[in-house]
Structure 1
Amino acid sequence: METSKPKTIVFITGAFVSSDCWNPWRAYFEEHGYTTLAPAWPYKDAPACTLRQRHPDADVAGIRLEKLTAHFSAIVAGLPDKPILIGHSMGGLITQLLVQKGQALMGVAIHSLQPKGIFTFKFSFYKAGWKALGFFTDAKKTYLMSFPEWQYAFTNGMPYEEQKEAYYKLLIPESKLVVRDATTDAAKIDFTQPHAPLLFIAGSTDRFIPASLNYSNYKKYSHEGSVTTYREFAGRNHFVLGQPGWEEIAGYISAWLSKH
């Protein structure tokens, strides 16, 4: 008897971290019968330590959201079937943009950066992201997050040694312009249109992308005939992909994918 081919998951990385952050997730979902890809951003297909040595990197500094979305759109378009898209932070925003383009079988936005027009008044959001915007600094140079900034924005609540290990293993320089682009039309979503099933995952202790911001994003989707789901997990910071206990979230996502 002919069996169906396993579905493909494309993991879309967020800003500031190497695409290696998905390695445990890829292993988890491949054990559950999926084929997975975690393509690097342009100019970032190298180990984190190598990318840090290139800082300030003019090529990375020139990355813009519109071209980055087109980069992942082309990867998805080259697959034989529509994949499942799972993105974190900036990758969650790109996931939403590609779902809007009709390129996903299903989409999962983990602690997603907000589309244009969605705001929060949470102080932690502005403190965690202000320096990354790079106002009053040279936009032709990349931004490299310091360890104290990493502790505040990504790994708050984790033991010091785990914070340090994650920093040196995954942190990379970032484009200031791509972060700013989240406020432009490059990040615009038409929330009234039908879309593939879309799941939002949020964390109660995420300072970079507060859960309330994710909830506001989720609530914007207004097409009654489309599936949109929201789930908040207690004690999850912005380093949710590598934070101990990430398997609970992966398991929830796996069950949601199977249901839909």
Structure 2
Amino acid sequence: MKTIDSKTVVFVTGAFVTHKGWEPWKEYFESKGYTTYNPAWPHKEGTAKELRDKAPNDIPLARLTLTELIDHYANFIKQLPEKPIIIGHSLGGMITQILINKGLGVAGIAIHPVPPQPVIPYELSFLRAGYKVLGLFTSLDKTYTMSLSDWQYAFTNGMTLEEQKKSWEENVIPESKTVARGGLTSAAKVDFKKPHVPLLIVSGSTDNIIPASMNLRNFKAYKTPGSVTDYKEFKGKNHFVLSLPTWKEEADYILDWIDRN
């Protein structure tokens, strides 16, 4: 019996990047008959350049918390005419898992998600790629913007220098250190024993900031035999997976998974 009966999709954006990266996905899913939304984070409306021009003194963004961010998406979803399919990337993937844990969707797809608590992200490449956003010994009233060199390692490893520079210009925006620190607290907690709607976790074999091994541990943390929990690793995909030339491979797999459930 099919359990995913919604034709509404909400895309949840991760850290460091503009929500506009979902626009090709929106168009593609809409061509398949879905109604889609990709709401920006609070204080992140505008182009990547416009938001970078505010850095590092955008105090409202700097003071945004993970709890407020989760509530932002939860409140958006509650206003929709039907429960949606929730699809998130990176930190947005973790938020997707949390929203599903709260019973706010009919299905969840977490693409290269940051692991929720209590899964501990101990992989060295994750620590190297992501520790700066915690802003240790820096003001929490200042935002953090990922440098090109960190972007090359964390998101766009394996791509040409020209592609890396272009993607940085088009996507990278300032980030709240407070949100990042929230990922280490109970605000990021998921009850892995709680029954849930169908959930798919997608990973990439060449992702540095969220390695496939981390996503696999995240998947294996679920202890709900009566709930559909699936895992898929794509070979040769880095963390910029949403905008790689091959992004439709993931999109088509997700659409097929939705149809099968």
Could you tell me how far apart the structure 2 residues matched to 1:45 and 1:94 are?
19
Q: Does 1:250 align with 2:254?
A: no
Residue-by-residue CA offset, 1:208-251 (whole Å, 9 max, x unaligned)? 01111111011111111100000000111111101120110100
- Is the Cα contact below 8 Å between 2:155 and 2:208 reproduced in 1? yes
Extract unaligned runs of 5+ from structure 2: none
Residue-by-residue CA offset, 1:176-208 (whole Å, 9 max, x unaligned)? 111111110000111001101000000001100
Could you tell me how far apart the structure 1 residues matched to 2:121 and 2:41 are?
27
Who is 1:143 aligned against? 144
- Counterpart of 1:18, as a letter, is T
- Counterpart of 2:173, as a letter, is I
Q: CA deviation at 1:257?
A: 0.6
Other structure's SS at 1:215 match: helix
Who is 2:16 aligned against? 16
Q: CA deviation at 1:163?
A: 1.0
Who is 1:162 aligned against? 163
Who is 2:53 aligned against? 53
Distance 1:118 1:137, change over 3 A: same
Could you tell me how far apart the structure 1 residues matched to 2:88 and 2:32 are?
18
Who is 2:86 aligned against? 85
Who is 1:103 aligned against? 104
Extract unaligned runs of 5+ from structure 1: none
- Is the Cα contact below 8 Å between 1:86 and 1:95 reproduced in 2? yes
Residue-by-residue CA offset, 1:16-54 (whole Å, 9 max, x unaligned)? 000001011111111111110000000001111100000
Percentage identity across aligned positions? Answer: 52
Q: CA deviation at 1:137?
A: 1.0
Q: CA deviation at 1:6?
A: 6.9
Detail structure 1 runs of 4+ shifted over 6 Å in the superposition.
none
Q: CA deviation at 1:121?
A: 3.5
How many residues are aligned here?
A: 256
- Aligned CA RMSD, in angstroms, stands at 1.0
Who is 1:132 aligned against? 133
What TM-score results when the alignment is normalised by the length of structure 2? 0.96
What TM-score results when the alignment is normalised by the length of structure 1? 0.97
